[in-house]
């Protein structure tokens, strides 16, 4: 049970270390992590809106606009009118970005191989299976129902402590 207490820490720290290592590699392409995430998410979701792409890439909308402006100027992405909403634009990858995406995927492969290098192919498959199951479970969780939140819990604890002191004091 004690080792399970490290679960959250290990997930968070592995994510941090993995991201840092990928960013170090991406510097060779003169790309930021957010630019890589933007192209990667867009390649999987062509025709997506800017707002949805910002969510998927974990970016604020204003930063996403600047990144897309740059990528559009470089000829990597194209904004097209949304047929259902004249105010919205849909995003598509242009051929010029495909070679850059190939390099991003290569860097991701190298980073992943570096982190999983001590595991056998069977262990890697098992790890990914378990992580996918945990991910699925986590996504399906409903928000916790905490009556009254932290303030109520603190008040209840204080009330219980006071009651214990009164009961203890009156028994003397």
Instruction: Read off the pLDDT of residues 92-104 as tens digits, 9 standing for 90 and up.
Output: 999 999 999 999 9
Q: Provide the pLDDT for residue 160.
A: 56
151 vs 137, more confident: 137
16 alpha carbon, distance to own chain's centre: 11
Q: Provide the pLDDT for residue 166.
A: 47
pLDDT bucket at 85, cuts 50 / 70 / 90: confident
- Which whole number is the average pLDDT over 67-75? 96
Which domains are present in the chain?
3-121 (1.10.10.10)
Q: Provide the pLDDT for residue 13.
A: 95
pLDDT bucket at 164, cuts 50 / 70 / 90: low
> What is the pTM (predicted TM-score) of this model?
0.73
Q: Provide the pLDDT for residue 151.
A: 60
pLDDT bucket at 172, cuts 50 / 70 / 90: very low
What is the average pLDDT value for the chain, to the nearest integer?
A: 88
Of all residues in the chain, the percent with pLDDT exceeding 90 is 74
User: CB under 8 Å to 90, separation ≥6 — which residues?
Assistant: 47, 48, 49, 79, 80, 81, 82
pLDDT bucket at 171, cuts 50 / 70 / 90: very low
Statement: residue 38 has pLDDT above 60: yes
110's tokens: 């190298």
């Amino acid at each position: 049970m004690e080792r399970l207490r490290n679960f959250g820490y290990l997930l968070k720290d592995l994510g941090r270390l993995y991201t840092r290592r990928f960013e170090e590699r991406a510097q060779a392409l003169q790309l930021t992590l957010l630019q890589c995430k933007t192209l990667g998410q867009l390649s999987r979701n062509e025709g997506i809106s800017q707002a949805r792409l910002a969510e998927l890439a974990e970016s604020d909308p204003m930063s996403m606009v600047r990144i897309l402006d740059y990528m559009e100027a470089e000829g990597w992405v194209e904004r097209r009118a949304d047929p259902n909403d004249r105010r919205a634009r849909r995003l598509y990858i242009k051929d010029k970005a495909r070679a850059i995406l190939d390099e991003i995927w290569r860097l991701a492969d190298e980073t992943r191989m570096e982190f999983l290098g001590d595991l056998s192919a069977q262990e890697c498959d098992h790890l990914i299976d378990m992580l996918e199951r945990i991910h699925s479970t986590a996504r399906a969780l409903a928000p916790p129902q905490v009556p009254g939140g932290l303030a109520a819990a603190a008040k209840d604890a204080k009330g219980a402590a006071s009651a214990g002191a009164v009961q203890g004091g009156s028994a003397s």
